[in-house]
Amino acid sequence: MKWNKQGAGWPWRRAAGQLPGALGLARDARGWHMVQLARELDGGVRLLAASRLGPVAAGDPESMGADSLRLQDWMADCACVRESRVVAGLPRSSVRVWRMTAPAGLEEADLEHMARVDAQSRHGLLPDVWQLDFGVVPASAEGGEVELLVAAAPRAEVEGWQQVLGGAGLKLGVLEVAAHAARAAALRAWRVQAGEVAGRHGIVVWTEGGASLLWMLDGALLAEQALEVEALADLAGVLGHACRGHVTSLRGLWLAVDEAAEEAFLQQVREALHGGVAGTEVSRVSVQWLHPWAGMRVEDAGLQRLSAIEASGWWAACGLALRGVDAWSR
């Protein structure tokens, strides 16, 4: 069992001037994608590792033990992983999220009790089946109440991650919705690659949970539009329809695709935009790939050489790792 390690220079060890790292783990039908990052003391982010592994081979048991052994094999070459905060991804379809209000000034235990009662009475989520987490929405206190953001995940999936990581000597730090992490990583990459931009731009994020189009205006998020599409092959046509009516004001369209893609996809998107408006207006619309580690410090030559399209597939893992390094820096 060998990991597909992009580049050389293993093992990585934490250098002076770096906070502890974070390991983002995304797992779906394609297998595993892992990204290890470290936040440096000057605020920058260093890419330490980006690896992938296909699904368990046919005939092998789809067991937690098999995945734990594969993680152990990887960790043997990456000495600083045990110091990292581990952030794992869950499918968007597995997680329920809602908001509720509670009296201000309650202790955390009381807020947790209220969240559990609300989950069971209003949403039908039984405590022996679902595991809850919650947080107080910042600056939400008004009229003697606070707003809570509550998330629930199937207990079996949470415990499954804990067993896989525990078998490899790791401890689960945070569970995050993989699609949300990919979206956050795409927004970060866009701000790096686009710089100080004016006008309307669109960011397309494709993940296992579907596709969304983020409308940006003068550098700020204006709106988010869910795209009804089931296959990447159909995304260009759906984008052409979604952008119809905006093409004359659209300055750029940026793509973050969390699966293997081909360069020809860019041309398909351009042709789909042409389907909405004829003439030179469409030619002004720049269509580009986003790169998941745009603006990061990358010392490994193999990782440096990966183009944006070659690095597609790491968006969720990169976003999960970014969540971890942000937690260390707070």
Same domain, 283 and 135: no
Question: Is 140 found in the same domain as 192?
Answer: no
140 and 29 co-located in one domain: no
- Residue 46 falls within a domain, yes or no? yes
Q: Which helix (H) or strand (E) holds 21?
A: strand 18-28
Please give the residue range of the domain that contains residue 71: 4-91+158-178+296-302+314-329
Q: Find all residues with CB under 8 Å of 8, minimum gap 6, and list them.
A: 300, 301, 302
Edge-to-edge, what's the strand order for the sheet holding 286-289?
220-227, 210-217, 200-207, 250-257, 286-289
Task: Decide if 24 is inside a domain.
Answer: yes
Q: How far is CA 241 from the centre of its chain?
A: 26
CATH code, 37: 3.30.420
Closest CA to 295 of 322, 270, 323, 273: 322
How many domains are there within the chain?
A: 3
Contacts of 225 (CB under 8 A, 6+ apart): 212, 213, 214, 215, 242
Nearest Cα to Cα of residue 220 among 250, 191, 260, 184: 191
Q: Is residue 21 part of a domain?
A: yes
The answer to the question of residue 309 being in a domain is no
Q: What is the pLDDT of residue 129?
A: 96
> pLDDT at position 197, please?
80
Domain shared by 219 and 101, yes or no: no
**What is the distance between the alpha carbons of residues 302 and 113, in angstroms, rounded to a whole number?**
50
Cα–Cα distances (Å) from 27 to 173, 258, 291, 320, in that order, read: 16, 12, 20, 12
In a domain, 308, yes or no: no
Q: Could you tell me which residues come within 8 angstroms of residue 50 by beta carbon, excluding any fewer than 6 positions away?
A: 6, 33, 34, 35, 36, 293, 303, 306, 311, 314, 317, 318
Query: Do residues 203 and 165 both lie within one domain?
Result: no
Return the CATH number at 195: 3.30.420.40
pTM given for the model: 0.83
Q: How far apart are CA 62 and CA 115, in angstroms?
A: 34
Say how far apart CA 106 and CA 98 lie, in whole Å: 19
Residue 320 and residue 298: Cα distance in Å, rounded? 18
Q: What does the alpha-carbon distance between residue 80 and residue 123 come to, in Å, rounded to a whole number?
A: 41
Q: Looking at the structure, do residues 193 and 140 belong to the same domain, yes or no? A: no
Per-residue pLDDT at 233: 86
In a domain, 19, yes or no: yes
Q: Residue 137: which of 104, 114, 88 has the closest Cα?
A: 104
> Can you give the pLDDT at residue 3?
31
Residue whose tokens read 């731009």: 201
Residue 63 shares a structural domain with residue 120: no
Strand partners, 50: 35
103, part of any domain: yes
CATH number at residue 130: 3.30.1490.300
State whether 125 and 47 are in the same domain: no
Antiparallel, parallel or unpaired: β 18-28 and 85-90 = parallel
172-177/250-257 β-pairing: unpaired
Closest to 323 measured CA to CA, from 132, 211, 229, 187: 187
Residues 33 and 165 in one domain: yes
Coil, strand or helix at 104: coil
The reply to whether 135 and 215 lie within a common domain is no
Residues 6+ apart with CB under 8 A from 327: 22, 85, 173, 174
Alpha helices in the chain (DSSP H): 64-75, 108-123, 155-167, 178-194, 235-243, 264-274, 301-305, 315-329
Strand partners, 149: 99, 135
Do residues 276 and 243 make contact, with C-beta atoms less than 8 angstroms apart?
yes
Backbone angles phi, psi at 194, to 5 degrees: -85, -25
307 within domain boundaries: no
Shared domain check, 85 and 141:
no
Q: Which residues of the chain have pLDDT under 70?
A: 1-19, 56-64, 76-83, 139-142, 275-284, 327-330
Asked if residue 69 and residue 113 are part of one domain, the reply reads: no
Note the pLDDT of residue 231.
87
